[in-house]
Amino acid sequence: MRNFAYYPGCSGLGTSMEYDKSTRAVCKALGINLMDINDWSCCGSTPAHTVDHLLSSALSGRNLALAEEMEAEAMITPCPSCLSNLKGTVHRLSDRGFRHKVNNLLEKPVQRTMPVKSVLQILDEEVGSRELAERLPEKPLRGLKVATYYGCIMNRPPEVMQFDDHEHPMAMDRLMQALGAEVLPFPLKVECCGASFGIPRKDVVATLSGRLLDTAQALGAHAMVTACPLCQMNLDLRQGQAASVMGKEFNMPVFYYTQLIGVALGLPQKELGLSKLCVKPSIAFDAMRSNREQEPVSKSAGKKKPETKENS
């Protein structure tokens, strides 16, 4: 059992509950022990670091200090925005003067800055696509064509994030491939979806997210897979807005990669929060099912079928 201090982030308790839920379920199933950080607070998200690096770092610093007390290998979070705040803080704290200023603001000083990683990195490094493929030789996601979408901050800036390629990341692709999904060569993997501009400039988000949906649709994707709560929301929730900008209809399920891993592992529906998705995922499940009907050799077909039925 590998122990990690788990930081769900604010969105994990609100807008992206299904990400948090499915992360917990998948990690449990794969033998990764998530230990919740007691009394964690918001990392400041986008606003804090645009106003004041010191304040932003103190917010993350508090969480880092709390995590230090736990017996964990690393602090992990599913949310790329939390990740970039935490890793940015660790990066800045290497400057002794800055660390001193941050610690002055904190009740409990940051002592040793533990390593911070994304859940995606942990799944890629600790479990890995090979282990996943061995565990599931029947390739449960076979027949599903996915466009993997990482968002713009998961791997950037590269010198801070230090994981995967910042222009052409592959971690999610590897996991999906291991589970049998066909990963399409989605060229806009790290393009911006418009992020939090959804509030002040809906048109910008509709255009940018529309382009992502359009490209994925043109490639013939059954579904998109994301790793970021905000990206998922923009792509999933705004398909109507995107449609009016692009002049095309979209019906593209947008999954969290943890949800699809959960489906592949045969975890119960409820634990994956599939019902929280705006666009019904039935297209994706149909794709998997039709494939399985063509090839009745698959061992897990019987086990999976009722589940997909419920959903569609």
Partner 1 sequence: MKIGVFVCHCGSNIAGTVDTARVAKAAMEFPEVTFASDTMYACSEPGQDAIVEAIREKGLDGVVVASCTPRMHEPTFRRTVERAGLNRYMFEMANIREHVSWIGKDMEANTNKAIELTRIAAEKLRRNQPLYPKQFEINKRVLVVGGGVAGIQAALDCADGDREVVLVEKRSTIGGKMAKLDKTFPTVDCSSCILGPKMVDVAQHPKITLYAMSEVEEVGGYVGNFEVKIKKKPAYVNWDLCTGCGLCMEKCPAKKSTDYFNENLGKTTAINIPFPQAIPKKAVIDPDFCRQFTKGKCSVCAKLCPTKAIDFEQQEEFVTEQVGAIVAATGYDVFDISKYGEYGGGRLPDVITSLQYERLLSASGPTGGHVKRPSDGREPKTVVFVQCVGSRDKSVGRPYCSGFCCMYTAKQAILTKDHIPDSDSYVFYMDIRAPGKMYDEFTRRAMEEYGTQYVRGRVSMIYPKGDKYVVRGADTLLGTQVELEADLVVLAAGAEAAVGAPQLAEKLRISYDTYGFYMESHPKLRPVETNTAGVYLAGACQGPKDIPASVAQGSAAASKVLAMFAKDKLENDPVISMVDINRCIGCGKCIQVCPFGAVKEVDFRGQPKAEVIETVCQGCGICTATCPQGAIQLSHFTDNQILAEVNALCQP
| By CB under 8 A, residue 203 contacts partner 1 | no
Which uninterrupted H or E stretch holds 134? helix 128-135
Rg (CA), the chain: 20
Which of 1, 96, 97, 185 is in the footprint of partner 1 by CB under 8 A?
185
Kindly state the number of chain residues that form the binding site for partner 1, as judged by CB under 8 A.
10
Compute the distance between CA of residue 311 and CA of residue 305 in angstroms, rounded to an integer: 10
Cβ of residue 40: shortest distance to partner 1, in angstroms? 34
SS3 content of the chain, % helix, strand, coil (to 5): 55, 10, 35
Minimum distance from residue 17 beta carbon to partner 1 (Å): 33
Query: What's the closest the beta carbon of residue 206 comes to partner 1, in angstroms?
Result: 18
Which of 188, 237, 243, 278 binds partner 1 (CB under 8 A)? It is 188
For the CB of residue 181, give the shortest distance to partner 1 in the complex, in Å.
20
Nearer to partner 1, 51 or 218 (CB): 218
DSSP string, 68-125: HTS--SEEEES-HHHHHHHHHHHHHHTSHHHHHHHHHH-SS---S---EEEHHHHIII
Question: Which 206-235 positions form the footprint of partner 1 (CB under 8 A)?
Answer: 215, 218
Query: Between residues 167 and 295, which has the closer beta carbon with respect to partner 1?
Result: 167
Of 185 and 296, the one with the shorter C-beta distance to partner 1 is 185
CB of 218 to partner 1, least distance (A): 7
Residue 63 per-residue DSSP state = H
**CA distances for 4 relative to 10, 105, 116, 118, 139, angstroms:** 18, 26, 10, 11, 28
Encoding tokens for residue 8?
């769900």
Q: Is the N-terminal amide bond of 169 cis, ω within 30° of 0?
A: no
- In the bound complex, what is the minimum distance in angstroms from residue 166's beta carbon to partner 1? 7
Distances (CA, A) of 242 to 43, 230, 250, 296: 30, 16, 8, 38
Q: Are 7 and 74 in contact (CB under 8 A)?
A: no
CB of 144 to partner 1, least distance (A): 21
Which region, judged by CB under 8 A, interacts with partner 1, from 6-14, 71-79, 184-192, 222-230? 184-192
133 or 152, CB closer to partner 1?
152
Sheet holding 116-118, edge to edge: 32-36, 2-6, 74-77, 116-118
Site track 151-170 with partner 1 (rule: CB under 8 A), x = hit? --------------xxxx--
Residues near partner 1 (CB under 8 A):
165-168, 185, 187-188, 191, 215, 218
